[in-house]
Amino acid sequence: MSQNNTEPNQSSLFDASALVATKKVKKNKDGKRSLYKVLINGFFVIMCAIVAVPFVAGLFASFRPGQMLIRNGLNLQLDFKNWSFTNYGYLFDGSTGYLDWYKNSIVITVISVLLTLIICYFVAYGFAMYNFKFKNFLFFLVIATMMVPFEILMLPLYKEMISLGLIDTFAGVILPGLVGASTIFFFRQFLSGLPKELLDAGRIDGSSEYGICVKIIMPMSKPAFSAMAILSAMGSWNSMLWPLIVLRSADKFTLPIGLNTLMTPYGNNYDVMVAGSMFSILPLFILYLIFNKYFVEGMTAGAVKG
């Protein structure tokens, strides 16, 4: 971006004449630079504000009676006289299925994250630590599954679930997504970076292959587990298409499916819809605030490799 923007502690490494020269140029360019600084930060501040608009509009609407949403749409008006916490009250007083949906989403997310992480870790461990027959072909299959959009498989999977009797069950929602190619890929990448000598050391100590995997390598893989836990929790919490197909009865709905049913033109549950939407974002927001670093790591792992 800017030339000669050498930091003071960095320039102290150079000889004095260079330092003087740097300072001179700095002075001349100061005016131009501060304008540039205002522009670039202004750009990002405006962009952040635009990004925040839908959230703020949704938050405002969650305080208004639901009928106003249908009549007026979403906007940024501060019409405090219409505001109340009534809608949030409806979420918790048991008059709707909202709390059930919340509970179901938590149950499904926790179970699938735990199982996905453990299974994908083991599979990735097999790929990363051993050489075996058909390894390349099998790993090619991992990649191949990523190249077929899930949407194409959903009809036959739906038929399969019917014949397995898994329609309208949590197992039906969870099972097909347990072994995720991208999660395997990420773990394999991480595990490939660990020294293989660890395995031999473990073997000499008399540990079994599985003992090494669980007792030696797994504790070292904590960062990978954290990143993937966040990412798969996010995917599971927000998952909609597959649960929409599998789940039938209202008491088994997850949050996305339940909220979607409130959007029918015939119901008058708009009070719950927006407040419920805003409240459903909360867990991920809290996770994001605490584990910000892992979100970034998990997201970008695939791209850096290229």
* Site residues (CB under 8 A) for other proteins, limited to 69-108: 69, 71-77
Q: Residue 270: phi, psi to the nearest 5? A: -65, -25
Among 90, 127, 253, 294, binds other proteins (CB under 8 A): 127
Residue closer to other proteins, measured from CB, 92 or 150: 150
Q: Site map for other proteins, 223-262, x if CB under 8 A?
A: -----------x--xx-xx---x---------xx--xx--
The residue type at 30? D
**Binding to other proteins in span 130-169, by CB under 8 A:** 130-132, 135, 138, 141-142, 145, 147-160
User: Residues 259-278 vs other proteins: string with x where CB under 8 A?
Assistant: xx--x-x-------xx--xx
By CB under 8 A, residue 218 contacts other proteins: no
How far is Cα 271 from Cα 262, in angstroms, rounded to an integer? 9
Site membership for other proteins, residue 37 (CB under 8 A): yes
| Alpha carbon distance 51, 60 (integer Å) | 16
CA 231 – CA 49 distance, rounded (Å):
26
**Comparing C-alpha atoms, which of 245, 84, 79, 127 is closest to residue 176?**
245
At position 177, the amino acid (one-letter code) is G
Give the C-alpha separation, 243 to 87, whole Å: 26
Binding of residue 214 to other proteins (CB under 8 A): no
Answer yes or no: are the C-beta atoms of 124 and 191 closer than 8 Å: yes
Sign of CA dihedral 165, 167, 168, 173: positive
Size of the site for other proteins (CB under 8 A): 98
- Binds other proteins by CB under 8 A, chosen from 209, 214, 225, 291: 209
Report if residue 198 touches other proteins, rule: CB under 8 A. no
CB of 94 to other proteins, least distance (A): 22
